[in-house]
Structure 1
Amino acid sequence: MSQENINNRSEAIKKIKELAEGINFCFFCTDLAQPPFESTPMSVQEVDDNASIWFLASKESEKYKNIKINEQVQLYFSDPSSMKYLSLFAKAELVDDQKRIDKYWNNFVAGWFEKGRADPNIVLFKIIPQQAHYWDTKHHKLVSYAVTLLNAMGSNLSDQDREGNIQI
């Protein structure tokens, strides 16, 4: 596996956007100072032009309560089928913005909020990345598997997998 850190801001934003929106679901962890962490699968609504990741949530959730106490969060994105992974340590902000709630509203989200998009308990989590680490393949996963297999049989082909830190 080759080490390919991303230090350029625009490339870092592009990589976070590619992975977070491409994978879409993550384990969203709060209460990091108190193991075991509170962890919930959540769906990304958007990764904006500053690499901030947006989620819809409830003010009645443990996540909301935990973020009010400690804004540090950890997100884990995993897509084994395409061999793409992202670990992201971040600061969470609680945002009330009805226009943004309306923008993200869809039938899937409606299932979580019986009172509809005007439910006063809907809150936005704005996740501002502080540190990130990724793993992925340079090519399709089948190419990566083939190269790994051939290398195990004695070939000396270039590594198709990469990982690195992402500096925001």
Structure 2
Amino acid sequence: MHDQPGENSGPVNSGRDLQGEGNYDAARRFDAEQEAFASDEERVDRAARQAAEALDGPEGEELRKAERDTGRHGQYTGRNNAPDVHEIRRQFWHAIEASPFVMLQLSVDPSGVAPMTAQLDRDGNHNIWFFTTRSGRFAEAGPATAIFVSRDHDVFARFEGELIEETDPARIDKHWSNTVEAWYEHGKQDPDLLMLRMALGEASIWSTDELGLVGAVKLMLGMDMRDEAGKGHVETRL
């Protein structure tokens, strides 16, 4: 099994960012973002405890009243605490544009998960794309699942779709870059080059922004979240 273009070889122009299957660049950035988040944990925890103390006093009651009056748990519909599907979907697309790295797996190969860089297009009509190789784990294509965590850990998503070979040269040209070229010895003419289109289907999206301040403090302190359940989670189609 080969996780990068080329038989038992590293990517061409290895000084550049690395793209493609088993995307080292995506994995490296994902790890860096996780480490940065962890390094701020003490500060976040301290701020959360200060906020929790404030919630026990007059400020807390004022905050809860303001939330009830204005519907500030994200932008709610105001009926049964239902989350705003359009708003959470918007948050997802904004977050993945800022950090387009996902963990991708074929449905027929659950153990074959790998970090990949999603190629996005605002006019993509419910599709995203991936550069990979004909000799790699995703060449079989078919039903697949992707897991996404935003850079700031405020949006989480699991979405499904169908991986299909992209045969339109214009699409390859649109997303081609120096960092993509680093993976392919013969550039766009490389016989191992494979671009896959993922036709997006069902998605589960969680947004911590939709919890509001009270919900966020409860979450960070491990308090009872049952009253907040469902406020930041939607099942939708992308």
Q: Distance in 2 between matches of 1:142 and 1:77?
A: 24
Q: Distance in 1 between matches of 2:214 and 2:179?
A: 35
Identity %: 21
| Correspondent of 2:97 among 14, 17, 21 | 21
Q: Which has the larger radius of gyration?
A: 2
SS at match of 1:46: coil
Q: Distance in 1 between matches of 2:117 and 2:222?
A: 37
Q: Retained in 2: the 8 A contact 1:131–1:166?
A: yes
**Whose strand proportion is higher, 1 or 2?**
1
Q: Retained in 2: the 8 A contact 1:12–1:166?
A: no
SS at match of 1:138: helix
Q: Deviations over 1:30-71 (max 9, x none)?
A: 1x235x43111110111443221111111121211x31xxx1
Q: Distance in 2 between matches of 1:142 and 1:112?
A: 44
Describe the shift of the 1:5–1:13 C-alpha distance in structure 2 as closer, same or farther (beyond 3 A): closer
Describe the shift of the 1:101–1:114 C-alpha distance in structure 2 as closer, same or farther (beyond 3 A): same
Q: 1:75 offset after TM fit, Å?
A: 0.7
**2:129 corresponds to:** 54
Q: 1:120 offset after TM fit, Å?
A: 2.9
Q: Retained in 2: the 8 A contact 1:3–1:164?
A: no
Q: Distance in 1 between matches of 2:155 and 2:88?
A: 15
SS at match of 1:89: strand
Describe the shift of the 1:91–1:77 C-alpha distance in structure 2 as closer, same or farther (beyond 3 A): same
Q: Retained in 2: the 8 A contact 1:42–1:55?
A: yes
CA RMSD of aligned residues (A): 3.5
Paired AA for residue 162 in structure 1: G
Describe the shift of the 1:52–1:150 C-alpha distance in structure 2 as closer, same or farther (beyond 3 A): same
Describe the shift of the 1:130–1:149 C-alpha distance in structure 2 as closer, same or farther (beyond 3 A): closer
Alignment of 1:121 onto 2:192 = yes
Alignment of 1:37 onto 2:111 = yes
Q: Distance in 2 between matches of 1:39 and 1:149?
A: 29
**1:162 corresponds to:** 232
Matches within 5 A, 1:6-155: 6=85, 14=90, 17-30=93-106, 32-34=107-109, 36-49=110-123, 50-64=125-139, 66-67=140-141, 71-79=142-150, 81-138=152-209, 145-146=216-217, 148=219, 152=223
SS at match of 2:189: coil
Structure 1: gaps (5+ residues): none
Q: 1:97 offset after TM fit, Å?
A: 2.3
**Whose helix proportion is higher, 1 or 2?**
2
Q: Retained in 2: the 8 A contact 1:5–1:165?
A: no
Structure 2: gaps (5+ residues): 1-72, 74-80
Q: 1:85 offset after TM fit, Å?
A: 1.1
Q: Distance in 2 between matches of 1:21 and 1:4?
A: 22
Q: 1:118 offset after TM fit, Å?
A: 2.3
**Structure 1 length normalisation: TM-score?**
0.72
